[in-house]
Amino acid sequence: MLRRLILLAAVLSVVGALAMVLGAQARAGGNGAGVVREGGDCLAADDTGSWLFSCNFQIVFGPSGSITQYIAGSVIPEESSPLPSKAITDVTGGPCLVLGGEVLSTVVAGVVTPSGHVQLICKN
């Protein structure tokens, strides 16, 4: 059964950082990529449970408008469902970066491990 992981990054400073990155790209003539690095708490869920995890992420805004997001972190056990008995590796399709109700990127690859490690890659 295909499992879909939903990610919600709860870091409000991304909006301000995004504005700064896009402004810097415009001033540079749009010739370079903009990068935002942040951390916070994220929520991942599939049909077997949900896991709050402490996450670090990097968002790369390409000059062509592409968005790639890398997210990694550790599950906070006391605030989450039990960890899976085996790694969940078919993680794709859920929203990843959502700003103002608009989905800017979705999960294209990811894993949640029995030890509580979460790693996701998201793209637009």
Looking at residues 16-33, what average pLDDT do you find? 53
pLDDT above 90: residue 123: yes
Residue 80: Cβ within 10 Å count: 17
Q: How far apart are CA 108 and CA 120, in angstroms?
A: 8
- The whole-number average pLDDT for the span 62-66 is 85
Across the chain, what does the average pLDDT equal?
77
pLDDT for residue 94 is more than 60: yes
pLDDT score, position 11: 38
Q: Show the tokens assigned to 116.
A: 């509580």
What residue ranges do the domains of the chain occupy?
6-123
Decide if pLDDT at 12 tops 50.
no
pTM above 0.85, yes or no: no
Categorize the per-residue pLDDT at 9 as very low, low, confident or very high, splitting at 50, 70 and 90: very low
Spatial distance between the Cα atoms of 113 and 89, rounded to a whole number of angstroms: 8
The pairing of beta strand 67-75 with beta strand 95-99: unpaired
Q: What is the pLDDT of residue 26?
A: 45
Instruction: List own/partner pairs for 52-59 with CB under 8 A and 24 or more apart.
Output: 52/76, 52/79, 52/80, 53/80, 53/116, 53/118, 55/9, 55/118, 57/9, 57/11, 59/14, 59/18, 59/35, 59/97
pLDDT in tens, 83-93: 999 998 877 78
